[in-house]
Amino acid sequence: MKTIEYIESFITRHVAKIPAHYLLSFWFQLANIHFMRKDFDRALVWVNRILNARTPFGRNDLQVQARMLNLVIHLEQDNLFVLRYFVDSTRRFMKKIKEVQPFEQILLGFFSAIGQTPKYEHNDRYRELHQQLFTPGKEMVPAAILDFIDYKKWVEDKLHRSSTLT
């Protein structure tokens, strides 16, 4: 893990020398690495850099995925109160910059509903989400999006973890 810490330190020290569109990509990659390591607090630090940046970076694709990763992280941390706020914020942002894709509508609906669903029903919601997005032959999430955030692996991990608890 020293490599990641070194990269984080390097980027932080040289932030003024890094072109903005590269910086956004670095921040997103660091957030995603920490997310995959299940270090949600560190992942949130890097996502927040993207969300709180005052300079417009372009790269709407990364901006959208950063907001979606923010939702996933808050769900993982059981921050259900703020999850509802961020769902609305993400929805507004997406409508402002592009046409919201059907799989994105499904994800936003899932995040909105799960925040108001009793814990004992979460596994059912994950199962429904998996069926909606990843039915064989009818996968809705483009492979290019899964390169940003592997929603399929995330949902399958949630289903696997919950099945080992029962």
pLDDT digits (tens, 9 = 90+) for 105-149: 999 999 999 988 999 999 999 999 999 999 999 999 999 999 999
Instruction: Please check the confidence at residue 56 and state whether its pLDDT lies above 80.
Output: no
DSSP at 101:
P
Higher pLDDT, 19 or 142: 142
Kindly report the pTM of this predicted structure: 0.90
